[in-house]
Amino acid sequence: MAGHTDKTYEAELKALREKLLAMGGKVEAAIASSVRAVIERNSTMAEGVKAADREINRLEVEIDDACRRLLALRQPAASDLRFIATALKIVTDLERVGDLAVNIADRASDLNQVPPLRPFHDLAKLADLTQAQLKGALDAFVESDVVKAEAVLKGDDLIDALYLKLFNELLALMMEDSKNIRRATSVMFVAKHLERAGDHVTNVAEMVIYMVRGTDIRHPRSRAV
C-alpha cells in the first residue's frame, strides 16, 4: 500500500525516524567509547564522550519538537500515533543512556589517575551485554520486530545477574583491603551505570512492543485487575 497521501506528512515522519536512529547510533557510540575509556584507561576518549553528549542532547530537543509539531498539526492516528508516542518516550530513555555514558567517562577519568585495580573481565562482559541489549532494542525499533524486543526484555535478567556478581566481588575486594575502597567504588559506579542503562534499554523495548502491537505491557503487576 502506498505511503500517506500527503507526501509532506510522509516526509516528516521519515525525518523523525531518521533523527531517532541517528540519536540511537550516537548513544551506542557513547556507551562503547566510555566503556573502552575505562577498560583501556584512555582519558582522551573519556573527554570525547563528554563532548559528544552535547549532540545527543540537541537531538533530544529536536525530536521532542518534531513530535509535538506532528501532534498539533497532523492529528496522527493508529500506527502513526503509536510511533510518535513511542518516539516521545524512547528519546528520554536514550538521552538518559547518553548521560550515563558521560558518568562512566567521568569514572574513567578518575580511575586512570590511579593504578588499576585488577583486570576488568567481568566489567567488560557487563559492558558487552549492555551494548548488545542497546543494539537489540534499536534494531527492534528500526525493524518493528516484536521478537527482538522480547529478547531484549529477557536479556535484562542476565545483566542484573552479572551486576550482582560484580557487586559482590568488589565488596569482597573492599573488605580485603581498605586501600581498595576508592577504586572499587568507582568501578562499582561504572557497573551501576551500565545496569541502569540496561533498564532504560528495556523501556525502549517495551515501547517498541506497544508501537507494533498496540498493547502497553509495562508494569504488569501494578495494573488494576
Partner 1 sequence: MSDAPKVAAKGLNAFFGKTQALKDVNLDVPARAVLAVIGPSGCGKSTFVRCINRMHELTPGATTSGSILLDGGDIFAPDLDPVELRRRVGMVFQRPNPFPTLTIAENVAAGLALNGVPGPYQERVEKSLRQAALWEEVKDRLSASALSLSGGQQQRLCIARALAVEPEVLLMDEPASALDPIATARIEELIHELKERYTIVIVTHNMQQAARVADRTAFFYMGQLVECGPTEQIFTNPRESRTEDYVTGKFG
Under rule CB under 8 A, which residues in 176-215 are in contact with partner 1?
213-215
Q: Which stretch binds partner 1 (CB under 8 A): 47-55, 58-66, 76-84, 192-200?
A: 76-84
Least Å from the CB of residue 77 to partner 1: 4
Phi, psi of 211 (to 5 degrees): -60, -40
Q: Which stretch binds partner 1 (CB under 8 A): 50-58, 75-83, 129-137, 178-186?
A: 75-83
Least Å from the CB of residue 9 to partner 1: 7
Give dist(CA 222, CA 77) in Å, integer: 28
The correct pick among 8, 72, 77, 221 for binding partner 1 (CB under 8 A) is 77
CA atoms within 13 A on the CB side of 127: 25
Least Å from the CB of residue 2 to partner 1: 6
Is 82 near partner 1 (CB under 8 A)? yes
Give dist(CA 158, CA 133) in Å, integer: 10
Q: Which stretch binds partner 1 (CB under 8 A): 2-10, 24-32, 63-71, 194-202?
A: 2-10
Which cell is 136 given?
Answer: 537489540
Which cell is 118 given?
Answer: 585488577
Which cell is 105 given?
Answer: 567517562
Give dist(CA 213, CA 37) in Å, integer: 39
Contacts to partner 1 by CB under 8 A:
1-6, 9, 75-82, 213-215
